[in-house]
Amino acid sequence: MSHLQYFSYEGFGDRVRKDTHYSQAVRIGDVVKISGQGGWDRITEKIPTDIEKQVAQAFDNVEHTLQKAGSKGWEQVYQVRIYCAPDRSKAMGPIISNLKKYCPNHQPLLTGVEVASLYNGMAIEIEVEAHLG
């Protein structure tokens, strides 16, 4: 699988790579796919209880992960999957405002999935795919 390039980032990314054997991103030619990013601080791993801060941090974690894999970030994202814990109504406003902030010039595909729960009480987790071309 030498055509696959795997990436992680300092802190949370390196820890889970070591402890649970998965990467934060993979680059396949001109496409980058990332593992779900939550609202954790990348170094301390703390998750804000404030939903707006948690959503903003998750979007920032997506941007950071994409850049680690050689992408320009959200501007190259074409597919977004957002997993939401049951009380998603509080997350929708911050999700929409962050999509507009990070994708001002395009509207990527979006799939939202409600799940029973997420890691460590998170409200959302975001996966994306980006094309580098």
Domain borders along the chain are 4-131
pLDDT at 66: 99
pLDDT at 87: 73
Around Cβ 91, how many Cβ atoms within 10 Å?
20
- Mean pLDDT for 99-113 is 97
Is pTM beyond 0.85 here?
Answer: yes
The domain 4-131 having CATH identifier 3.30.1330.40: the answer here is yes
Inform me whether the pLDDT recorded for 1 exceeds 90.
Answer: no
- Mean pLDDT for 111-117 is 93
With contact defined as beta carbons under 8 Å apart, do 80 and 126 qualify? Answer: yes
End-to-end CA distance of the chain: give it in Å, rounded. Answer: 22
- Mean pLDDT for 11-20 is 94
pLDDT digits (tens, 9 = 90+) for 43-95: 999 999 999 999 999 999 999 999 999 999 999 999 999 999 987 678 999 99
